């Protein structure tokens, strides 16, 4: 849920370096948590976080396409 919100936030910036920086920070936070964690780390959690981040970026884009089609019709 948090990574989806980060994706929504970076989508408003409309800058590829911002997308890459936010994605890199998500991975860095996961790696640091894995290094300092006493237990096992699930890579599935990282994959799901990155998928939610990408969905957060894609949601405003798809919403804009849908609204543009409604305005044309």
pLDDT tens digits, one per residue of 32-55: 999 999 888 889 999 999 999 999
Query: In the predicted model, what is the mean pLDDT of the chain?
Result: 89
pLDDT > 90? residue 28: yes
Q: How many domains does the chain have?
A: 1
| Angstrom distance (rounded) from CA 38 to CA 61 | 40
pLDDT given for residue 41 in this prediction: 85
* CA angle, residues 50, 52, 29, in degrees to nearest 5: 45
What's the pTM value of the predicted model, to 2 decimals? 0.78
Smallest CA-to-CA distance from 5 within 45, 43, 55, 44 is with 55
Q: Supply the range of the domain harboring residue 53.
A: 2-72
Q: What token pair was written down for 73?
A: 């019709």
- ∠ CA 28-29-34 to the nearest 5 degrees? 95
Q: What is the mean pLDDT of residues 53-66?
A: 90
pLDDT > 90 in the chain, percent: 49
């Amino acid at each position: 849920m948090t990574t989806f919100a980060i994706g929504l936030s970076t989508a408003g910036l409309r800058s590829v370096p911002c997308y890459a920086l936010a994605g890199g920070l998500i991975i860095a936070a996961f790696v640091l948590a894995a290094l300092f964690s006493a237990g096992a780390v699930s890579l599935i959690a990282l994959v799901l976080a990155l998928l939610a981040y990408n969905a957060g970026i894609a949601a405003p884009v798809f919403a804009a396409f849908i609204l543009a089609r409604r305005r044309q019709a």
